[in-house]
Amino acid sequence: PTPIVNEAGIPMGGFGTDQDGQYIEIKFPTFGQAQVQQMLQQMHVQQQQQQLTRAFAAATIGANPAPEAAKLATPLSAAPSVPDEKAVPDLAGAQNISIYDAESFAEAHMEDIVFDRKAFFWKIDNWDKLERRATSDVFKCGGFIWRVLLRPFGSSHKGVLSLFLECLGTSDSTEDWRCTCRFVLAIANPHDPTHNTHGSAYHCFHRSNPNWGFTRFMKLADLRTAPAPGVRPYIEDGACTIGAYLHVVKDASS
């Protein structure tokens, strides 16, 4: 069949060979809406030509034409046969999302790999009374048990706040386990949650490496200091709120 070309006369697809002489199908990535419409128009014209050819042949056969006349029933310029209309893929419906509509395009062409989601909030009212290693209540997400691990006076670095997400496995973790999670940890003013700072990470948690996060989340001096006039500090009257947002990713083995 005649190859389909774009408005510049450049073929949009075809067949050829690679550098090793292997027979391959060649597809071009730039396949926009104008090219799709052109394909559909060509298919439509071919279908109309085919229908006219069949109707003309049927009318001629009904009149018992002579053998020579029957040969003329099909025009010399008749288009090659194409699949019935039901077999033609709905290319317009599959390609009519702009590549600049990032969210819709990704949703249409990428599998959602998130298995479970969770938002957890830890309200702290007595920051000055925290131990050097403090943990939140536990919560569940994706079949695993989690908690936030806080070192309010830093871990390996002095003068900074350390903040981690910790996975405790499952309720029956008698064997080795692992869980891949994308997460965000944030600290916000208890009265104005729009004033916050955060860090995001992606990690595969397992028994020998159960926590991941930020050893230098922020300077301790910045926790109680207002960054600008009229803006509240992150810790006010000894209180703040820590938020944890989890996206547990599907297990690739399943």
Give percent above pLDDT 90 in the chain: 41
pLDDT above 80 for 19: no
- In this prediction, residue 125 carries a pLDDT of 95
- In this prediction, residue 246 carries a pLDDT of 95
How many helices (H) and strands (E) in the chain?
4, 11
**Which range has highest mean pLDDT (38-52, 138-152, 163-177, 218-232)?**
138-152
pLDDT band for position 209 (50/70/90)? very high
Interval 130-153: pLDDT, tens: 999 999 999 999 999 999 999 998
Distances (CA, A) of 98 to 12, 28, 39, 111: 18, 17, 18, 18
How far, in Å, CA of 95 to CA of 31, rounded?
8
How far, in Å, CA of 63 to CA of 115, rounded?
67
Q: Describe the strand order of the beta sheet including 178-188 as a list of residue ranges.
A: 114-124, 240-249, 178-188, 196-206
Average pLDDT score, the chain: 75
DSSP state of 20: T
Q: Which of 175, 169, 253, 154 is nearest to 211 (CA)?
A: 169
3-state class (DSSP) for residue 69: helix
- Can you read off the two tokens belonging to residue 2? 């005649």
Element (H, E) at 254: none
Give percent above pLDDT 70 in the chain: 61
Q: Which of 143, 119, 243 is nearest to 189 (CA)?
A: 243
Distances (CA, A) of 68 to 59, 60, 62, 76, 79: 15, 12, 15, 14, 21
| Radius of gyration for the chain, computed over Cα atoms and rounded to the nearest angstrom | 33
| Residue 28 near residue 16, CB atoms below 8 Å | no
pTM of the model: 0.58
- In this prediction, residue 2 carries a pLDDT of 44
pLDDT above 70 for 89: no
Arithmetic mean of pLDDT, 61-73? 47
3-state class (DSSP) for residue 42: helix
- In this prediction, residue 37 carries a pLDDT of 56
